[in-house]
C-alpha cells in the first residue's frame, strides 16, 4: 500500500462494509511497522471502546478509506503514534494529503459532538459532511481558517523571522490569521506591521496550500519593502532579519508553502528555473 498511491477525496458511506481505516487523535495517527492504514473491521474491533466518530474520507487505489476519531491515544502492543508533520517532512505527499484531510475531519467531528447553542448531542447528516442539532436546527460544516504568509523583499534581500516554537536556527516568512471584516491583503500589511514594524507595498498573491495544523488555508504572497526598521513584536517574534538570497539561514521543510515562496523569489532573482509547489 505504500507504493504508488492514488487518493481521491470523498465521503464513502460508513454504512458500507469493508475498506481501510486510519485512527486519529490530536494530529497523530496510530501506526505499526507497515504504516497507518489498517483493515477497517479489524481496527474498529480493537478500538471500539474509545471511538467517538467515524467519517469516510475518500478512496485509495479504489478502496474506500475511513477515519476513526479516538477519545484518547490508545496504547497497543507493537503500535506507536506518529505526528502528521512527520509525513510532510519525509516526502510522502499523497499520504500526507490523505492524513491531513483525516486530521481536519477528525478534529471537526470531535469539536462538534455537542451543539454550541443548546448543548444537545449533534447528529451526522446523511449523505454530506454536516453535523446538525435536531433540537435547535443548528448546522455545522467543516471550516477553514484563512491565513496569510508573505515573503517581503528588498532587492537581493528577503525578510525572514523566527518564533521560539521553530526548530533551532530556522527562519521563515511572516504569517498570520485573517481577522473578521478584513481582506487578505489588509491582513498581510497589518501582520507585517505588527510583527516587525515595517511598511510594505505591491502585495501580490502567489499560491495557496491547505495546512492541516489543524485547519488553516495558507494564502501565499510576495510584497515589496517600503520603509521602517525591523522591531520584532514581543512574545511573537524571537528574531527577524534581512537575509541575502546568497546566504540564507536554515529554512522550512521543502514541501511547505513557506519554502516555496522563498525558493520562488530566489529563483526569479537569479534567473533560475522556478520551483513547483507540491499539491
For the chain, the domains span 7-111, 145-270
Could you read off the pLDDT of 143-189 as tens digits, one per residue?
899 999 999 999 999 999 999 989 999 999 999 999 999 999 999 99
What is residue 135's predicted lDDT score, i.e. its pLDDT?
A: 95
Q: Could you tell me the fold of the domain covering 7-111? A: Nucleoside Triphosphate Pyrophosphohydrolase (3.90.79)
Nearest to 225 by CA among 275, 175, 151, 168: 151
What is residue 2's predicted lDDT score, i.e. its pLDDT?
A: 46
In angstroms, what is the C-alpha Rg of the chain? 21
Q: Which has the higher per-residue pLDDT, 275 or 255?
A: 275
Q: pTM to 2 decimals?
A: 0.89
> Percent of the chain having pLDDT more than 90?
86
pLDDT at 279 exceeding the cut of 80? no
Spatial neighbors of 272 by CB under 8 A, at least 6 apart, are: 266
Query: Given pLDDT bands bounded at 50, 70 and 90, which one contains residue 255?
Result: confident
Query: Given pLDDT bands bounded at 50, 70 and 90, which one contains residue 4?
Result: low
Query: Given pLDDT bands bounded at 50, 70 and 90, which one contains residue 86?
Result: confident
Cell of 254: 521543502
Q: Which residues pair with 8 in a beta bridge?
A: 59
Name the helix (H) or strand (E) containing 153: strand 145-154
- Whether the CB-CB separation of 213 and 85 falls below 8 Å is answered with yes
The CATH number of 145-270 is: 3.90.79.10
Instruction: Map residue 222 onto helix, strand or coil.
Output: strand
- Dist. CA 152–CA 87, nearest whole Å: 29
Tell how far CA 94 is from the center of its chain: 14
Average pLDDT on 78-99 reads 89
Amino acid at each position: 500500500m505504500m507504493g504508488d498511491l492514488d487518493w481521491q477525496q470523498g465521503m464513502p458511506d460508513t454504512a458500507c462494509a469493508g475498506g481501510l481505516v486510519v485512527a486519529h487523535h490530536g494530529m497523530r495517527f496510530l501506526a505499526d511497522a507497515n504504516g497507518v492504514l489498517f483493515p477497517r473491521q479489524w481496527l474498529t474491533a480493537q478500538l471500539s471502546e474509545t471511538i467517538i466518530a467515524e467519517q469516510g474520507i475518500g478512496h485509495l487505489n479504489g478502496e474506500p478509506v475511513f477515519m476513526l476519531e479516538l477519545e484518547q491515544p490508545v496504547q497497543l502492543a507493537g503500535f506507536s503514534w506518529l505526528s502528521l508533520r512527520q509525513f510532510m517532512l519525509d516526502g510522502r505527499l499523497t499520504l500526507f494529503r490523505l492524513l491531513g484531510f483525516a486530521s481536519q475531519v477528525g478534529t471537526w467531528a470531535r469539536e462538534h459532538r455537542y451543539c454550541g447553542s443548546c448543548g444537545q448531542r449533534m447528529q451526522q447528516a446523511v449523505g454530506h459532511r454536516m453535523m446538525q442539532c435536531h433540537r435547535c436546527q443548528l448546522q455545522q460544516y467543516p471550516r477553514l481558517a484563512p491565513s496569510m504568509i508573505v515573503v517581503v523583499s528588498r532587492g537581493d534581500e528577503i525578510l525572514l523571522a523566527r518564533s521560539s516554537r521553530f526548530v533551532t536556527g530556522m527562519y521563515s516568512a511572516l504569517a498570520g490569521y485573517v481577522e473578521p471584516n478584513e481582506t487578505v491583503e489588509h491582513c498581510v500589511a497589518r501582520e507585517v506591521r505588527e510583527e516587525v514594524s515595517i511598511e510594505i507595498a505591491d502585495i501580490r498573491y502567489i499560491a495557496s496550500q491547505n495546512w492541516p495544523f489543524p485547519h488553516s488555508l495558507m494564502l501565499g504572497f510576495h510584497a515589496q519593502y517600503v520603509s521602517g526598521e525591523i522591531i520584532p513584536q514581543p512574545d511573537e517574534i524571537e528574531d527577524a532579519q534581512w537575509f541575502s538570497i546568497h546566504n540564507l539561514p536554515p529554512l522550512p521543510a521543502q514541501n511547505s508553502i513557506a519554502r516555496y515562496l522563498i525558493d520562488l523569489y530566489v529563483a526569479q532573482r537569479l534567473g533560475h528555473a522556478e520551483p513547483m509547489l507540491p499539491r
